[in-house]
Structure 1
Amino acid sequence: MTSTTEGTRSAPALLAVLMPAMLATVIASDMVNLVLPAIGAEFGASEAELAWVVTGFLLMFSVGIPFYGRVSDRVSLRRLFVFALLTYAAGSLVCALAPDLLALVAGRIVMGVGAAAIPVLSIIAVTRLMPENRRGTGIGVLSAASGVGTAAGPAVGGGIGQLLGWPALFWLMFAVALVLLPSALRVLPGEPPAGEARFDLPGGVLLGLGAGLALFGITQAQVAGLAAPSSWGSLVVAVVAVALFGWRTVRVAHPFVPPALFANRVYRNAVALAFLAMVVNLGGLVFVPLLVVDVNGLTPGAGALVMIPAGIAVAVVSPLIGRLADRIGTRPLVLAGLAVIGLFSLFLSTFTGGASVVPAGVGIFGLSVGFIFVLTPLISAAAGALPAGQVGAGLGILQGAQFLGAGTGPALFGVLVTARQQGGGGAVNPLYGGSEGAAYSDVFLTMAVVVVPALAVACRMRPREAGHARYTTRV
């Protein structure tokens, strides 16, 4: 008996729901960055207070992803997806009508609760509902939406915010969520999966607490410094929470994360690689726009335009990579992608100190394409290596690792930039010839260094791990 209903559901109809949902939620995470000054001027808020407009959303996102993945093993995709869209719409409405900063932050938190479900449920839906030989293509299409949303978020936010005001961003998200509801009800299955009926809720709370506090502590280190109690205190509590989570995992009958997940070598490698690749990718997506504004003197809106070719490339390449992964497997694509990421990180570190913004555009273009070569095959391989009853939990943890990398990279690199700008001195890279921007050169060089352990993990992948485990369609 199969665990999917491939024969009764159209793959194009499924992706027609999942793609715009993924695009909207990814855009939502970054769309406010360029309108924060306008929000601060309207509400009379400080930079530290404004940071919560971003942090509140991200914290709920990081906590929610593993929960939605785990719950999807016992609750139908239709119910979870509809709940997520309604919650996302409600949070968007609160933000659009917010009379003060507190209401805006509350709305962003509610948005984050809904948005956290979309990426992981979308991947789970493709894994369960599309035929195995088309799974990579489906994941590639979703990766395209995610990549375009990440690159376009600042541009969309800056453009719409400047023309129509920042509340228009949230009215747009509200409308998108409501438009998608009828299609989600029609396309997604209403029957619950035949997975494990129970799991350890306290363990899930500890995992979410650990992930959320780790992200918050890293973010606070960037804003207030590592010596601030809000930074080191959060990190200490995060470590304690994760330790308690590990203790419960090996002692309860139905742990939140089945230990067998990490006995699976394919899955274990995929989690490590997804985290490291996301650290580098988000580092580039954050610091290339900052570079062209700070060093090249572009406006924030013009700086966001530098990212558009990379977003277009991701949209075009991702489905092709998905199909290629279905044919030749994971390892060759991951190794090639990591090599490209490393080379273009070095390129950015070497050539982005001049008057032209072209090297920055070329660098982020190559970085984004390399990342898609890594991520799309990894998700497909991880999904294929998991038994049907562990797909939700496994993909929730995998995407949680991705998101943790997305929060960790920019925060740690931000600390490095601040320290280097305050300390002065030239770039570490001896080939860097720019008169300004040495701190950014060092960040891009550090990104190249992070690729080295990722390559070491990828080299340990066996060629046979490139395929998909055949038992994933059985219960």
Structure 2
Amino acid sequence: MNPNQVVQVRKPKLMALVLMIGAFIGLFSETALNMALTNIMEQFSISAAQVQWLTTGYLLTLGVFVPISAFLIKWFSTKKLVSAALIFSILGSLIGALAPNFEILLIARIIQALGTGLLLPLLMNVVLLIFPINKRGVVMGLMGLVITTAPAVGPTVAGIIVDLLDWSYIFWLSLALYLLLFIFGLKLIENVSTLTKPKIDIFSIFLSTIGFGTLIFSLSSLAENAFATQIVLIPLIVGILAILLFTIRQLKMPQPMLNLTVFKYPMFTLGTLHLFIGMLLILSTAILLPMYLKSSLLYSAAIAGLIMLPGSALNAVFGPVVGKLFDKLGPTRLLPIGFTLTTIGSVLFILTVKEDASFASIMLSNMVFFSGIAFIIMPAQTNGMNQLPRELYADGSAIANTLQQIAGAAGTAVAITLLMKGESNFLENNLHASIEQSVAAGTNFAFYFTLIISVIGLISSFFVKKVKV
């Protein structure tokens, strides 16, 4: 079959839309609880380091499950996998809405993440199969919009819900949307994947689960433990060794669970790096700003959400525009613009994040920052995937999505770690400082991380070449 041949479906746009809405709800759920973390801490009497597991636990599950998805796509039909994904998502949302304690709430988040972990790679794989390459820019632009807007808009919507109702209604909202999608959207899904049914390699699944799971666990444990402690160091070493063994095994197998030869394609490798950096930036900011706005500036959840809304709105506006520009200009001009804007946004955050910062200054910084994100995710992802041959789409999609989840977990964990480190440094020198001052100092310190990462992204963006298909 010609690698550029499109799989014919009756309504490709509607089919892609159903998957995009499912992914949007899942990624919305990823960060929506961030605005309610302080409320959950009070209700269940837990610390900031414990409550962050509602975000990192979600990411941990995605990091473990997404690599397996490339294998599942080759074994089960598209419709069966979408059905399973929606059932997991519905069940997780229902348990979360009714959760009587923190442990049950965490289990609900893990079940939710199983649904999202199936939907994300499916979305990318299906889009690559049902749209011709000359129309991918616009469609992938909309997909990039889903990936970036959903985590960004989550805290805004959740903030209003938390103030007007209760954090459990975040789950009720997700449940209602998933049920509508299951009832009305599932009939639009058609089977498009080629089922090769490769041999099940239990050892590969074991190594993948242990490797990615312990790596994300280690990163998440950094929030309340020093790097040299056993709870951080041992899982980190185990994770790196397991991923190394997993990599060696995949390269030697005739039918690997995850085909790592995708990294022989330089633009895919560079595109995945930029995706990784993009998700680091999104998730670290998505957890830092709500905590700062509520704990330091003492805004309500709704007001904090509204401050973040224009940044999300700009990101949404630029998404489709960037998609069209990509088809005309390619990634070489767009990516440097994106990383320049996130660099400027990070500098603005460092200059403005204080205990007496104005409403407008934080809003402006966030608008500049998230405008940049719109120019990063889609061009990086599309250019990278365009270089892969058709038979590697599922593997490339699974790898890109796995690394995004690891980036999310790392971004969340590092952001919280630096926030707490910045707070303790400030309190050592200012013994009588208020909580508001220490949280502001900690947040300010953490934004140096987004600045460094943005600069790395900016430098590497100049090595990108447009893929000739």
TM-score (norm 2): 0.89
Residue 259 of structure 2: SS of its match in structure 1? coil
CA distance in 1, matches of 2:226, 2:350: 25
Contact 1:91–1:109 (Cα < 8 Å) also in 2: yes
CA distance in 2, matches of 1:35, 1:455: 33
Contact 1:417–1:443 (Cα < 8 Å) also in 2: yes
Which moved further from structure 2: 209-218 or 369-378?
A: 209-218
Contact 2:311–2:367 (Cα < 8 Å) also in 1: yes
**Is 1:418 aligned to residue 403 of structure 2?**
no
| 1:115 matched residue in structure 2 | 116
Alignment of 1:27-426 (within 5 A): 27-39=28-40, 42-43=43-44, 50-193=51-194, 197-198=198-199, 200-353=201-354, 354-424=356-426
Contact 1:70–1:396 (Cα < 8 Å) also in 2: no
Shift of 1:54: 3.3
Letter in 2 for 1:94: I
Contact 1:221–1:228 (Cα < 8 Å) also in 2: no
| 2:432 matched residue in structure 1 | none
Shift of 1:361: 1.2
Letter in 1 for 2:24: L
Structure 1 residues 295, 222: CA separation in 2 closer, same or farther (over 3 Å shift)? same
Contact 1:17–1:183 (Cα < 8 Å) also in 2: no
Structure 1 residues 380, 357: CA separation in 2 closer, same or farther (over 3 Å shift)? same
Contact 2:350–2:448 (Cα < 8 Å) also in 1: yes
| 1:431 matched residue in structure 2 | none
Contact 2:163–2:302 (Cα < 8 Å) also in 1: no
CA distance in 2, matches of 1:76, 1:195: 11
CA distance in 2, matches of 1:167, 1:446: 32
Tell me the alpha carbon deviations over residues 152-202 of structure 1, each in whole angstroms, 9 at most, x when there is no partner: 212322322343333332222222222112444332222541657346442
| 1:442 matched residue in structure 2 | 445
Which moved further from structure 2: 405-414 or 85-94?
A: 405-414
Contact 2:338–2:373 (Cα < 8 Å) also in 1: yes
CA distance in 1, matches of 2:280, 2:364: 19
Q: How many residues align?
A: 460
Q: Can you give the 5+ residue segments of structure 1 that lack an aligned partner in the other structure?
A: 428-434, 470-475
Residue 222 of structure 2: SS of its match in structure 1? helix
Contact 1:22–1:142 (Cα < 8 Å) also in 2: no
Structure 2 residue aligned with 1:456, among 437, 454, 459? 459
Contact 2:59–2:408 (Cα < 8 Å) also in 1: no
Which moved further from structure 2: 329-338 or 67-76?
A: 67-76
Give the superposed CA RMSD.
Answer: 2.7
Contact 1:88–1:115 (Cα < 8 Å) also in 2: yes
Contact 2:67–2:258 (Cα < 8 Å) also in 1: no
Contact 1:288–1:360 (Cα < 8 Å) also in 2: no
Letter in 2 for 1:449: I
Structure 1 residues 426, 301: CA separation in 2 closer, same or farther (over 3 Å shift)? farther
Shift of 1:368: 1.1
CA distance in 2, matches of 1:284, 1:100: 27
CA distance in 1, matches of 2:463, 2:49: 43
TM-score (norm 1): 0.88
Structure 1 residues 194, 133: CA separation in 2 closer, same or farther (over 3 Å shift)? farther
Letter in 1 for 2:290: P
Letter in 2 for 1:334: L
Contact 2:418–2:442 (Cα < 8 Å) also in 1: yes
Structure 1 residues 148, 232: CA separation in 2 closer, same or farther (over 3 Å shift)? same
State the identity as a percent: 23
Q: Can you give the 5+ residue segments of structure 2 that lack an aligned partner in the other structure?
A: 430-436
